[in-house]
Structure 1
Amino acid sequence: MDGNGKKILFVDDDSLSMDSIRLALSENGIAVEFAKDGIEALEKVTHEFFPVVVTDLNMPRLNGLDLVYQLNSLKDKPVIIVSSVLSEVNSVITLLKAGVYDYIQKPYHLDELRHRIEKALEAAEYRAVKSRGEKEKQKQIQEQLNWNLWKEKIIKGSSDDSDNLLIKSIRTSLSQGAGFGALVSLINRIEKKVKKKGEDYIIDSALMEALFENGKAAKRVINLFEEMENIGSNELTEEILSLSDLYQTLEEILESQKELIGLQNHSVVLGQNQILENNVFINGKLEYLRKAFEELILNALKFSIPNSKIYITLSRSPQSMKIDFYNPPDKDQYGNYGIPDFYENLIFEPFFRISKLVYEKYPTLDFGLGLTYVDKVIRKHNGQVKSYSVKNHLDDLGASNFVHFEVDLPTVVLR
């Protein structure tokens, strides 16, 4: 939601303070629509969606308590802030238990009001992104069925030319950037330019530095394969991790990646940790999950439109913990945004790369192996990682879809 798209509904019968509130919030790019009571507020929300509603409790006709229950029954629920005087604190506690996002005491302090509304607008963005993701799940289930059929055709030797995409991608990955093709080219150049002096060779220092750098890249790939081999042969579910451990890990990754996040003026919005179940855990190994999460975040940074927001949300289903990563993709070399439907499963295959571009400033895993590593780690934790597109209704930066990576990790309840 960009600065020009923030619009909230303020419900209060105190007309004297409304002008100052409108002026104060407009400085933050927030447009304000006012309603004098709950009846007028309901009339407005039936004709226009407001991501945030701020409502007083004590009003004529339909009071704030009843308005909150009516708003919470809507299909597209707004994020609700209640305003109250100190004597109404018991009602506020009841409403918070019923799903009200926040409350603020009257009389209003404008700085605090601005701050709480900005936080509520962020929460509305999380909710909108999460809702879009849920609506795309059925599509993803069908895509997964199609993918399984495609893999079965390959095993039986009856696949079409689709598998050539993977073969071509392997060749591309090994021939570009600091790949093996570049290594061969360097050796050819050295052979042409090297001079022999006695038993020694005199070689241009720039060529040697390039050779050393390419050798380091090749070593990283070998080390990565060794690590993935160890993941496959070792047990990764011997530790007990709380849901707060995972949230804290995401916070630490974002803190450590501030410089990379700022390369293209991105921002990463991490949803609030509202999962408070102390007896729910994940069996896993945090160092591997951390690396997998880091790879997903760096992948989002590489391919997102400059100056855009990347969203991370957390939620609980009855038997799993779900972590969703959303990013608005930039245009690739073919003029496409995001991951084409056919590639949504291929991207987890070793060496598969959609883009031919090299992003040297982002330290993601080399040769299209980053998402392979993520898939390996999550599956070793008995979970799943999926990728699909979600319609983008939050900004006008040019991407019609978000790229959505959905991570599901099974949970256990310890009594």
Structure 2
Amino acid sequence: MIPHSLILESSISSNLLKILDEIHYTYERLTKLGDVLNSLKKEKFHFLIVPIESLDKVSSQEILESITNSFPNTLILLITNSDNWAQTAYLLKRHSAYDFLQTPLEVDHVKFTMDRSFQYLNTKVKTQFIHEAENHLYRRVIEIFDWKKSLTHKENQNISADIIHQMNINLFQGSGIGTLMSVVSILLSKSKWDQDNNHYTIQKPILDLLSENYDAAKSMFDSMSISQNVIDDNELIQTMESPLKLLPIIHSEIQTLEEALKIKSQKINVSQIPNSVNHHEIRFDQVKISYAIREVLLNAIKYSKDGDEIYIIFFQKENFLEVKFINPAYQNEDGTVGIPEKFESIIFEPFFRISSIVDDSYAKFEQFRFGLGLTLVKKILDQHQANVQIYNIEDNLKDDNKVDVCLTIRFPLIKKEN
């Protein structure tokens, strides 16, 4: 994944923009430091990059500290020079900034610093989640070995039950292997031997059920094969195509999912791609992008409700094409809504699920399963040097103060060679 930056413009930021264009990192710009908080509320950024010359007032330093406190998962990088070491060191010491880029800016140094900082950010987010998971496990252990509770509620089961539960969700819950085994068992017990004609007779409903679940199990194994191919392929996509080719893929996948949309009477609305991208290209593998788009759309469909509308909106911003998939957010099993901030990065980890409920209605449309869907979406987009994030946003499409889930993909735009 590539980092996404918010850059405060100044006389020394123009060279940085050229470097980011060269290494195909995405960014957005603003002109006033006072507008940063509003920008961070509306959109997710990994970095805020601020030229040191813009911080000549005490109030500017207070704004940086406010940003750090309000948005701890957005790292502040300073653009500085040898004349401003004292101020740079002061801000770093106070943790008002994480790191710095020294002028004159060089491509290798900028890339190294941003990659290193991005690695720290990802590790920090995962560490926070792991710490929370460890606390949950600790509470479980206390509950299990609390003899009073054990006597009154008989809750002395082993922690391994949680692991078995996850295996059941991933492999055996719903149609497919589990039901197929049950149907085979019924088939063996209910089939009747016709000794005169030397064959067994089977009731049609049983055979129909067997056929249905054979298809579901076969689909599951096909999914494993597709997933394995994606996992094994680590090559960067070299093929370059017009961004306009994304639109027919999206419409094709919507048509494929027409039956899935009818289940809850849902609708997908798609905007046009801005004409401003006509003279650009993106890395493009049609098959893999189709896989990714299907998975993203299926997630939006599954986690939306009856009559909901899903929006796909394109924006051309700075040096990238942004594609937003937006669907209504609802309450989760733990009482949170949509995608809680603590899950925004972890949701792309293998086997992670916010909900443990499996809906069989959509099984035949799935190409990725076993809790690997968004993990493989991220893998595919990494191969396209694209960025993917998922988070809650305020619903600005309707005046009902609701929350939406927004999955955002950013494809770096590369100018066509003449």
TM over 0.5: yes
Change (3 A) 1:341 1:171: farther
1:319 deviation in Å?
4.4
Mapping 1:73-152, distance limit 5 Å: 133-134=42-43, 144-149=122-127
1:356 deviation in Å?
0.9
Spell out, residue by residue over 1:190-241, the C-alpha distance to the aligned partner (whole angstroms, 9 max, x if none).
Answer: 3443444457444433233323322222222222222233234444623221
Alignment check: 8 A CA contact 1:150 1:159 kept: no
1:174 deviation in Å?
1.7
Aligned to 1:324: 324
Q: State yes or no: 1:388 paired with 2:391.
A: yes
Q: Counterparts of 2:176 and 2:204 in 1: how far apart (Å)?
A: 20
Secondary structure (helix, strand or coil) at the match of 1:306 reads: coil
1:283 deviation in Å?
1.8
Letter in 2 for 1:308: D
Secondary structure (helix, strand or coil) at the match of 1:276 reads: helix
Aligned to 1:221: 220
Q: How many residues align structurally?
A: 287
Mapping 1:251-330, distance limit 5 Å: 251-254=251-254, 257-258=257-258, 260-330=260-330
1:133 deviation in Å?
4.6
Structure 1 stretch 300-309 or stretch 284-293: which is displaced more?
300-309
Q: Counterparts of 1:174 and 1:280 in 2: how far apart (Å)?
A: 43
Alignment root-mean-square deviation, CA: 4.1
Q: Counterparts of 2:246 and 2:348 in 1: how far apart (Å)?
A: 23
Change (3 A) 1:237 1:361: closer
- 5+ residue gaps in structure 2? 1-31, 47-70, 76-120, 139-158
1:375 deviation in Å?
2.4
- The correspondence for 2:168, drawn from 171, 195, 199, is 171
Q: Counterparts of 1:183 and 1:404 in 2: how far apart (Å)?
A: 37
Q: Counterparts of 1:231 and 1:144 in 2: how far apart (Å)?
A: 23
Q: Counterparts of 2:327 and 2:73 in 1: how far apart (Å)?
A: 17
Spell out, residue by residue over 1:109-148, the C-alpha distance to the aligned partner (whole angstroms, 9 max, x if none).
Answer: xxxxxxxxxxxxxxxxxxx9x9965168757658844443
* TM-score, with length taken from structure 1: 0.56
Q: Counterparts of 1:227 and 1:206 in 2: how far apart (Å)?
A: 32
- The correspondence for 1:413, drawn from 402, 412, 415, is 415
Alignment check: 8 A CA contact 1:140 1:388 kept: no
Q: State yes or no: 1:182 paired with 2:182.
A: no
Alignment check: 8 A CA contact 2:175 2:360 kept: no
Mapping 1:30-69, distance limit 5 Å: none
Change (3 A) 1:209 1:340: farther
Letter in 1 for 2:311: Y
Spell out, residue by residue over 1:368-410, the C-alpha distance to the aligned partner (whole angstroms, 9 max, x if none).
Answer: 443333223212223232222223354467x842111122333
Change (3 A) 1:388 1:193: same
Alignment check: 8 A CA contact 1:350 1:368 kept: yes
Q: State yes or no: 1:161 paired with 2:70.
A: no
Q: Counterparts of 1:357 and 1:231 in 2: how far apart (Å)?
A: 23
Q: Counterparts of 2:40 and 2:253 in 1: how far apart (Å)?
A: 25
Change (3 A) 1:261 1:194: closer
1:358 deviation in Å?
1.0
Q: Counterparts of 1:145 and 1:401 in 2: how far apart (Å)?
A: 28
Letter in 1 for 2:327: N
Change (3 A) 1:200 1:381: farther
Letter in 1 for 2:395: N
Q: Counterparts of 1:291 and 1:144 in 2: how far apart (Å)?
A: 25
Identity %: 25
1:242 deviation in Å?
0.8
1:298 deviation in Å?
2.5
- 5+ residue gaps in structure 1? 1-72, 77-127
Change (3 A) 1:134 1:288: same
